[in-house]
Amino acid sequence: MGFSLKSSGLWLGLAASAFLPGVFAKCGHSKFELVLTWENASPDGSVRKVIHANGKFPAPTLEIDEGDRVEVTVFNKMPFNTTVHFHGIHQDTTPWSDGVPGITQRHIQPGKSFVYEWDANQYGSYWYHAHQMGQIEDGLYGPLVIRPKKSRATPLSAIPGDVAAIAKAAKKPRQLLIGDWRKQTSTEITKIEHEANMEIPCYDSILFNGKGSTICWDEATIKSLVTPQQQNTLNAAGGNMTAKGCLPPVLIAKVIAPNATVYPEKIPAERVNVCVPSKGETEVISVTKSKTETEKWVAIDVISATGLLAFSFSIDGLPIWVYAVDGEYIVPKQVHALPVSNGDRFSILVKLDEAGDFPIRVASTQNTQLIAATAVLKYRILESSVAPKTSGFAPWVRDNGLPLNGTIVYVVAQQKMFEAKTIGAKADATYKLQMKTGATSTQWSLNNQGFAAAVSDHGTEGVALFKQPGAATDLSINTKKNQWIDIIFITATKPTPPHPIHKHGNKMFLLGSGVGAFPWATVEEAKAAGAPLNLVDPPRRDAVVTPQASPANATWTAIRYHASQPGAWLMHCHIQSHLGGGMALLINDGVDAWPKVPSVYANYQ
Ligand SMILES: *[C@@H]1O[C@H](CO)[C@@H](O)[C@H](O)[C@H]1NC(C)=O
Ligand SMILES: *[C@@H]1O[C@H](CO)[C@@H](O)[C@H](O)[C@H]1NC(C)=O
Ligand SMILES: *[C@@H]1O[C@H](CO)[C@@H](O)[C@H](O)[C@H]1NC(C)=O
Ligand SMILES: *[C@@H]1O[C@H](CO)[C@@H](O)[C@H](O)[C@H]1NC(C)=O
Ligand SMILES: *[C@@H]1O[C@H](CO)[C@@H](O)[C@H](O)[C@H]1NC(C)=O
Ligand SMILES: [Cu+2]
């Protein structure tokens, strides 16, 4: 089965023994190979084409030790271009391994391979995914875990319980990737959206580690779940939720792009109006307590791999301790439900007492669709004579994503980082970005204009990282090395849904958000005027969610980051249809110290 692949600039001659699809790690150096293929599969019980990595979906977990040099070789055996992005990985001094076509590399074409190489100078829960068109929605995603070095202090002692049992659980967190899923490929969906001239945010299933089902609720159930906000939209535009629990895309188009000519007759009925149930497997996280253990805990890395849906995460009957967010330790916080947005990671610890099959509940919080699903946390106690509890657990959250009375929901703005990091006292530059919608509900922009590179290949213009940055435009900003940069996201057109804005490269400090169009020149001025801003110990995130804007009021969100890593970084909405619709900006960091790209990357074809 040995073979070699030549791509000009990169010669990969692999001996048969070295080419075992899978994973082999050496001390200080983690090497992985991912062979990508395009296969028939039925994650939710319904067959379609799915991207497999080393023969499976989701892609395998990459387990790395903090401090390792990481090398990931991607073999593209699919009939289309691809790239792979390591989400949340700083890529300090290796911007060419960030995986964004047109920004940091050329496409990996069918039959070609590409070597990503970077330093794991972080720890915790991450994930990797395709950064080419809508390929996340075709299944190219997998977990990435960086085991903290032994000397790293942890916040676990703040959690009440058996210290050893907690530490043992946290050493081996289980990964739970949560995705939304449709019975058609991303290319088919995009084609329908273009023909109908509107965005069609309606999904079939929720997948836990690639497993799930299409659940069809009856009309009465859907009616009982409609949220006040959804009812407002229905009342204003005139209509009902569809059999799939979706707001009719025509209503969304009416609100977002009222002047667009739409062709709803081009949308196949099963895409929105008709729900066809199908049954796949149920994901089970199994935990067993042995006779010698006195207390049992389980750690779970909750990872959102959704293309569009934001959701509430909870475990019926069990409170959860959040101890890390986006890979970094926080001061632990006990809650019942998590607001999870596209690309987020929450690392949680759960104390288990009585044996049972606890429902792990995910419910959409997106206005566009009512959809919910459960996986199972199966807890057993060896040699116990008590029968496990299999039903009757009290949920924390309704299937429309709204918390029940008394449920404590995690609040991102109140997040306290465990490790203090200096935040620049004052920004060297402030950018106010005007987020807009376009003439149709498929067009979006992060700053005035849609970003064409997000939808095309950027081929004729060349790769941003491979040339000296030009002057800043609506689609790019330039910074100098080690400047502190403030960015204010303003919802210039409204209404608009929440947007999970992800920044590549290093993390952002989330200073705050509020109502209005940010009438101030700087964050300091806003703070002096009483705006809700934390300039002392704000949360660090690799994505921030901009609050939705009603027809009456814009919203703003302020972040600060350190331009410590020269290179070309994309900042974009992580909703795949918004990214595809142009909601992106190029950040050229450190233009005065622009990196020299190794020829193996610069010459890659
Ligand atoms: C695939 O990648 C090549 C090289 O970057 C590019 O020329 C081509 O246009 C890409 N094809 C698509 C469909 O993006
Ligand atoms: C919505 O459903 C109700 C029945 O529940 C029906 O009377 C009404 O006509 C429907 N509205 C639309 C716009 O289809
Ligand atoms: C839609 O068209 C009307 C009439 O031409 C115009 O007044 C309005 O501003 C337009 N709305 C948008 C969102 O473009
Ligand atoms: C919620 O709980 C509080 C205190 O237990 C109670 O006063 C209140 O009436 C409850 N609200 C609802 C809507 O059930
Ligand atoms: C929204 O705007 C209206 C009118 O400008 C104002 O009265 C209202 O207080 C605003 N809402 C919030 C939450 O600030
Ligand atoms: Cu990303």
Q: Which ligand is nearest to the CA of 459?
A: 1
pLDDT in the model for residue 452: 83
pLDDT in the model for residue 580: 92
| Order of strands, sheet of 328-335, starting from the edge strand that comes earlier in the sequence | 205-208, 174-181, 296-304, 345-352, 320-325, 328-335
Q: Is the pLDDT of residue 208 over 90?
A: yes
* CATH architecture for the domain at 284-414: Sandwich (2.60)
Of 117, 6, 100, 20, which Cα lies nearest the Cα of 570? 100
Distance CA 500, CA 238 (A): 28
Distance CA 442, CA 293 (A): 54
Q: Rank 118-122, 253-257, 424-428 by mean pLDDT and report only the highest.
A: 118-122
Pocket test for ligand 4, best of 396, 405, 407, 408 (most atoms within 8 A of CB): 405
Domain boundaries, the chain: 14-148, 186-272, 284-414, 429-602
- Mean pLDDT computed over 419-439: 95
Cβ of 459 less than 6 Å from ligand 1: yes
Task: Name the band, by pLDDT with cuts 50, 70 and 90, for residue 133.
Answer: confident
Q: Is the pLDDT of residue 67 over 50?
A: yes
pLDDT > 70: percent of the chain = 94
Q: Which ligand is nearest to the CA of 462?
A: 1
Could you tell me whether strands 124-130 and 84-87 are parallel, antiparallel, or unpaired per DSSP bridges?
antiparallel
Among protein residues, the one whose CA lies closest to atom 11 of ligand 3: 259
Cβ of 109 less than 6 Å from ligand 1: yes
- Mean pLDDT computed over 290-306: 97
pLDDT in the model for residue 241: 98
Cβ of 457 less than 6 Å from ligand 1: yes
Q: pLDDT tens digits for 397-412?
A: 999 999 999 999 999 9
Among protein residues, the one whose CA lies closest to atom 14 of ligand 1: 457
Q: Is the pLDDT of residue 12 over 60?
A: no
Q: How far is the CA of 105 from the centre of ligand 5 (A)?
A: 45
- Asked if residue 53 lies in contact with residue 74, where contact means CB atoms within 8 angstroms, the answer is no
Tell me, rounded to whole angstroms, the distance of Cα 173 from its chain centroid.
Answer: 19
Could you tell me whether strands 372-381 and 284-289 are parallel, antiparallel, or unpaired per DSSP bridges?
parallel
Phi, psi of 476 (to 5 degrees): -150, 150
What residues pair up with 360 in beta bridges, in sequence order? 315, 375
pLDDT > 90: percent of the chain = 91
Q: Is the pLDDT of residue 323 over 60?
A: yes
Domains 284-414 and 429-602 share a fold: yes
Mean pLDDT, all residues of the chain: 93
Tell which atom from ligand 2 comes closest to the C-alpha of 239: 13
Distance CA 58, CA 73 (A): 17
Q: How many CA atoms lie within 13 A of 386 on its CB side?
A: 10
Q: How far is the CA of 87 from the centre of ligand 6 (A)?
A: 5
- Mean pLDDT computed over 351-380: 98
pLDDT in the model for residue 27: 56
Protein residues with CB under 6 Å of any ligand 2 atom? 238-240
Structure token pair of residue 417:
């980082």
Distance CA 21, CA 1 (A): 10
What's the CA angle centered on 103, arms 97 and 108, to 5 degrees? 60
Give CA torsion, residues 558, 563, 565, 570, to 10 deg. Answer: 40
Number of Cβ within a 10 Å radius of residue 217? 19
| CATH code 3.40.50.2300 for 14-148 | no
Q: Find the length of the chain.
A: 605
- Asked if residue 258 lies in contact with residue 193, where contact means CB atoms within 8 angstroms, the answer is no
Cβ of 405 less than 6 Å from ligand 4: yes
Residue 389's SS3 state is strand
- Asked if residue 493 lies in contact with residue 546, where contact means CB atoms within 8 angstroms, the answer is no
Among protein residues, the one whose CA lies closest to atom 13 of ligand 5: 515
Protein residues with CB under 6 Å of any ligand 5 atom? 515, 552-553
- Mean pLDDT computed over 196-220: 98
pLDDT in the model for residue 65: 97
* Alpha carbon distances (Å) from 562 to 142, 279, 461, 507: 28, 47, 28, 9
- Strand spans (E) along 336-371: 337-340, 345-352, 356-364
Q: How far is the CA of 553 from the centre of ligand 5 (A)?
A: 6
- Asked if residue 591 lies in contact with residue 480, where contact means CB atoms within 8 angstroms, the answer is yes
- Mean pLDDT computed over 473-490: 97
Among protein residues, the one whose CA lies closest to atom 10 of ligand 4: 405
Instruction: Please identify which residue in the block is written with the tokens 């979906």.
Output: 57
Q: How far is the CA of 330 from the centre of ligand 2 (A)?
A: 48
- Helix H or strand E segment including 493: none
Q: Is the pLDDT of residue 21 over 60?
A: no
Q: How far is the CA of 438 from the centre of ligand 3 (A)?
A: 12
Structure token pair of residue 508:
């952002």
Task: Name the band, by pLDDT with cuts 50, 70 and 90, for residue 462.
Answer: confident
Options 3.10.180.10, 3.40.50.1370, 3.40.50.150, 2.60.40.420; CATH of 429-602: 2.60.40.420
Q: How many CA atoms lie within 13 A of 334 on its CB side?
A: 9
Task: Name the band, by pLDDT with cuts 50, 70 and 90, for residue 453.
Answer: low
pLDDT in the model for residue 459: 53
Cβ of 259 less than 6 Å from ligand 3: yes
- Mean pLDDT computed over 344-372: 98
Pocket test for ligand 3, best of 252, 255, 259, 262 (most atoms within 8 A of CB): 259
Cβ of 294 less than 6 Å from ligand 4: no
Q: pLDDT tens digits for 555-597?
A: 999 999 999 999 999 999 999 999 999 999 999 999 999 999 9
Task: Name the band, by pLDDT with cuts 50, 70 and 90, for residue 321.
Answer: very high
Among protein residues, the one whose CA lies closest to atom 11 of ligand 2: 239
Among protein residues, the one whose CA lies closest to atom 14 of ligand 3: 259
Q: pLDDT tens digits for 85-120?
A: 999 999 999 999 999 999 999 999 999 999 999 999
Distance CA 173, CA 324 (A): 12
Q: Which ligand is nearest to the CA of 463?
A: 1
Long-range Cβ contacts of 150-153 (<8 Å, 24+ apart): 152/66, 152/123, 153/418, 153/419
Q: Is the dihedral of CA 118, 122, 124, 130 positive or negative?
A: negative
- Asked if residue 298 lies in contact with residue 169, where contact means CB atoms within 8 angstroms, the answer is yes
Structure token pair of residue 548:
């939705």
Among protein residues, the one whose CA lies closest to atom 9 of ligand 1: 457
